[in-house]
Amino acid sequence: MITQNGAKASSKFGVIRAWGMRSHISLAQFPQQPAFNRLGQSTPARFLWNIRELIIATTTYLVYMFARKVILGDVVSVATDNAHKTVELEQKLHFFWEPVWQGWAIEHAEWLVVTLNWAYILTFFPVIAATAVIFYLRDRPRYVFYRNVILTSFVVALLVFIFFPLTPPRMLGPEFGLIDAIAEYGPAIYGGREMAFFYNAYAAMPSLHFGWTVLFGILFWNTRGPLGATLLLKVCGISYPALTFFAITLTGNHYIVDAIGGALVALLSLLIYNGLVFWWGRTRKPERVPKRESESRGVPSRGRTATA
């Protein structure tokens, strides 16, 4: 990073990495945050920071869940009509493959259906929560960066939902050649009414399920550790989004175009947030350079002659 006076400066915490390359964003460009990485920070301050993060995550999720009821009300008919248009689009583009994939798996590899059903559930929120906690404790700057990108994706996805609510393929009926694989093969609790509160059934486009795994794939790919750990993280960076893609489509929860939309929303959110950080760094007022300690004590600086 180049500071206001043109001198090179290195952030205490390094730079944020995104898209497989170093993003030259020093944490000095971010709005001031508490000194959360200082070991000497008081326990009450840490506690308040933790509570704030919980409030941010919970509030954002609840706002997103209730948005469809507040903004659009009953969207079933509109979402179903958009679903028919989506199927027609994929058919025209010759990649309406979801029924073929699901039908083959049900007929020849039922175990694969059950595995992907569990993968759809266990590799999403549990992985996101565990990763968030690890980076929250071990690499707070990167946690803050990706947390803000995900919050940005919430806003973008909500805008898409307002203009294009979409019924998932599992709710279209057997005439489209797809079934609700999770309801048929389990786990039954996920497809029950008890879980309906926790997701927006008519927000299939974009698939944040896939979009967030793309973000986490980027995060895993760019995280370094011991040689073995780095290699494993890079493998996870590729396999995690790939597994999620087949889990969301073969179970009948998303169309292929939903996954494409989710990936685009994730990358757009990265662009937007990077742009906001860049703008913040450009518009910040230059920090005042404190006087040298020697001058503040009345000692003349080097190169100057003391006068009586």
Indicate whether 38 belongs to any domain. Answer: no
Q: What is the pTM of this model?
A: 0.76
Q: Is residue 124 part of a domain?
A: yes
**Structure tokens that stand for 186 in this block:** 């389990």
73 lies in some domain = yes
In a domain, 208, yes or no: yes
H helices of the chain, in order, are 43-67, 76-92, 98-108, 110-122, 125-138, 140-163, 181-185, 188-191, 208-221, 227-250, 256-283, 293-296
Short-list 273, 68, 250, CA closest to 168: 250
> How many CA within 13 A on the CB side of residue 39?
0
- For residue 34, tell me if it sits in a domain: no
In whole angstroms, how far apart are CA 108 and each of 102, 105, 162, 185? 10, 5, 39, 15
Report the C-alpha dihedral over residues 44, 49, 53, 54, rounded to 10 degrees: 0
Domain count, the chain: 1
Q: What range does the domain containing 266 cover?
A: 45-282
Indicate whether 169 belongs to any domain. yes
pLDDT per residue rounded down to tens, the chain (308 residues) = 333 333 333 333 333 444 433 333 333 333 434 434 443 455 666 667 778 787 887 777 777 667 666 666 678 889 999 999 999 999 999 999 999 999 999 999 999 999 999 999 999 989 999 999 999 888 989 999 999 999 999 899 989 998 999 999 999 988 888 999 988 998 876 655 556 556 678 889 999 999 999 999 999 999 987 877 889 999 999 999 999 999 999 999 999 999 999 999 999 999 999 999 888 877 876 555 555 544 544 545 444 444 43
What pLDDT, on the 0 to 100 scale, is given for residue 278?
87
Measured CA to CA, the distance from residue 244 to residue 210 in angstroms comes to 6
Q: Is residue 87 in a domain?
A: yes
